[in-house]
Amino acid sequence: MQLGVIGLGTMGANLARNAASRGVAVSVYNRSAEKTDAFMERYAHEGSFSACASLKELCASLKPERVILLMVQAGPAVDAVLDELGEYLQEGDIVIDGGNSHYRDTERREQTLAKRGLRFIGMGVSGGEEGALKGPSMMPGGDEAATKKILPMLQLMAADDGMGGKCVSYIGPGGAGHFVKMVHNGIEYAVMQLIAEAYDLLRHSGRDNATIADAFAQWNASPRDTSFLLEITEKIFRTRDTLTGKDLIDVIDDAAGQKGTGKWTTEAAMHYGFAIPTINAAVDARILSGSRISREGWSKVPVEADQTAGVADTESIGDALSLSSLIAYMQGLTLIATASQAEGWNLRLEDIARIWRGGCIIRSALLSVLQDAYSDGKQAEKGMSEVHRRLSHGAQQSWRNVVASGVTAGVPLPAMTASLAFLDGMRSPRLPQSLIQAQRDFFGAHGFSRRDQSGVHHGPWAGAC
């Protein structure tokens, strides 16, 4: 097996090393020759590598039908590389975009390359630096025949799913692979924000960082909740700053960045018409955190809050975090189902949940439950029964109490509150949007639907605008 890798940043370099460690002959190229040289100096002994000084040389080093993995920055850089690369490719060659490209861009690129007989795969890759090296979760979409051809290589590279399989599967046509990775990142935003809110509650109640680390260790030790993000969060709270000797968390700025996939997820939800309020709240929270000047102005606003009300026990906060996270995953998976139906992708949610169980950033014990819940037949019944069980038995009341105490104490809990509101909205037999229908008809004659008759109706409003 042969593979060409273009782009030797952290992810590209580690995927190249991953493939080489599995017996794949890997040709590498980076626009900066210094980076290629540094890569070879450090890692050439790990496998069969060929350093290439140009795209032409890289293509010449691979036998047709070539397989080339692009690990360059999403956006115009991908198009620029594809344009130049196209001079040296032949019909039947396979190009994989392993970056976080927008799924509509992936669809456009596949159609463009197909006209020249080239096969294109848009593949989401999750796992960060360690996952890329030791085994990521991979979500290839686009050309199905091309994916099947390279699947044996991808299976060698992918993480184990804990069920005897690998965390890679053909997702679906067009931009489906990148769409699923985009929503994966949206869920990641949500869970990270929920963890941050749990931290804020613990911090607000006077717990020190060591005690907070113990709380995250306790939650991660639970078979119900164990996850990669909880695992690393405990480690973060136990890490000291080498410059000051203080706890590192206390010297890190509170303005969080983002690269766009969270925002794309919220835009997709608006487009396809499915509510993902927890993910939206997480994106908003990052934006708010970066609004430094505005925050300084608002800091002068007097706050009437009970500063003792935020004290909650560790178990209750853990319940609130667990159930809020469960809702966030379900929002993401249902958005994927909604988009799949609209686009005709025929995506398998059970399989998507499975390939997220290892290697990726959002791997969690929750996914075994959701794998069942989004399957067919008795497995789905079993999974949804477990979801309902988790949402009861006192845990839901703890969740409500934690959110209420946070609001009373003035602790911002946008994502936890959004998850709870989503649950209450979805379970309510009658929502107040009947009034919104009436208001729209009153001032704009937009009409409304009735519960007892079909068609569009208008009210006999007195004094209509």
Give the separation between CA 102 and CA 89, rounded to whole angstroms: 24
Are 226 and 318 spatial neighbours (Cβ–Cβ below 8 Å)? no
Q: Looking at the annotation, which residues are catalytic?
A: 181, 188
DSSP designation for 122:
E
Which residues are CB-contacts of 224 (< 8 A; sequence separation ≥ 6)?
A: 322, 365, 390
The token pair that represents 95 in the structure block: 């190009």
Length of the chain: 465
Order of strands across the sheet that contains 25-29 = 49-51, 25-29, 2-6, 67-70, 94-97, 119-126, 137-142
Give the separation between CA 461 and CA 425, rounded to whole angstroms: 28
Give the ranges where 309-376 is alpha helix by DSSP (H).
314-343, 349-355, 366-373
Q: What angle do the packed helices 176-204 and 414-427 form, to 10 degrees? A: 120
The token pair that represents 89 in the structure block: 């490719």
The DSSP code sequence of 293-324 is HHHHHHTTS-----TTTT---HHHHHHHHHHH
Tell me the C-alpha to C-alpha distance, in Å, between residue 193 and each of 233, 324, 418.
12, 10, 12
Cα-based torsion angle of the residue sequence 439, 444, 446, 452 in order, rounded to the nearest 10 degrees: 40
**Torsion sign over Cα 330, 336, 342, 344:** negative
**Torsion sign over Cα 256, 259, 263, 265:** negative
